[in-house]
Amino acid sequence: MAAPGVDPHRQGGAHTDRMNIGQVLDVLRPEFPGITIPKIRFLEDKGLIKPERTPSGYRKFAPGDVDRLRYVLVMQRDHYLPLKVIGEHLDAIDRGLEPPPIEGVVPTVPKVALAADGLPGPDEFRRRGQVRLTRRELLTVARIEESFLATLEDYGLVRPSGTGHYDAEDLVVADTARELDAFGIEPRHLRAFRAAADREVGLVEQVVAPVRRGRDAAAEARAADVAAQIAALTVRLHATLVKGSLPGR
């Protein structure tokens, strides 16, 4: 069934209802702030929307085209469906059928690359994922409330990028903080972890700085490799010290 308020198969009326691409942006941006002209063109290239073209090549969107575009965006934003699946939904709708039921598929917390001892290894610190979550997505995937996320940000535990997006590390921190909160360890108790992490990063940077200043082209790669190895060792040391200090040992 189509998303509430979205009829991707509604036909447009007279030609006076047609909108240019800029007007379509104005209509959709309140609901989809990230929508852009290149995004609309991309969806057209994928065959998901098919606006009319004037003799001079300008796109003209009927109300049905806008509804169809809104359907695609809702399926991406709320259900994380790939474009291929969305295309299958639209094809079913075009043929007068009901699209398949939408399952509650959401992104999951990224897996940590663990070494043989069960701790994050150097590969985990070398890995740079491309995860970019909106605030709404982070709240959904980490299963936390807005107030909890705001507190994590206040204590510097989660830090959105300049575009307002969150990365894989933010997601893991938010998810872990939620689990700790169930034991009564609140975000305010985690400030010490942030401070300790910053000190460890500062130590790593002191060691890596001379390597990074190398004049050959591979200097930056070597610096990144050294930083990953040191980071893994500091985490192993920290975890071992905590383990060794637990009561009952």
Whether residue 130 is found in the same domain as residue 174? yes
- State pLDDT tens for residues 51-84: 999 999 899 999 999 999 999 998 888 777 788 8
- State pLDDT tens for residues 140-166: 888 899 999 999 999 999 999 888 889
CA distances from 31 to 24, 49, 50, 104, 175 (A): 12, 18, 21, 21, 27
Q: What are phi and psi of 141, to 5 degrees?
A: -70, -40
For the chain, give the percent of residues with pLDDT over 70.
85
Q: What pTM does this model have? A: 0.54
Last residue of a domain, one of 56, 79, 94: 94
Q: What is the mean pLDDT of residues 11-38?
A: 81
- Range from 97-111, 193-207, 214-228 that averages highest in pLDDT: 193-207
CA distances from 223 to 94, 192, 229 (A): 55, 27, 10
pLDDT for position 122: 78
Whether residue 133 is found in the same domain as residue 64? no
Whether residue 85 is found in the same domain as residue 133? no
Whether residue 145 is found in the same domain as residue 229? yes
CB 84 within 8 A of CB 47: no
Confidence of residue 20 (pLDDT cuts 50, 70, 90): very high
CATH number for the domain spanning 41: value is 1.10.1660.10
User: At residue 109, does pLDDT exceed 80?
Assistant: no
Domain tally, the chain? 2
Confidence of residue 230 (pLDDT cuts 50, 70, 90): very high
CATH number for the domain spanning 163: value is 1.10.1660
Whether residue 41 is found in the same domain as residue 87? yes
Residue 177 structure tokens:
């903080």
Residue 44 lies in a domain: yes
Residue range(s) defining the domain that contains residue 21: 15-94
pLDDT for position 17: 80
Last residue of a domain, one of 76, 94, 112: 94
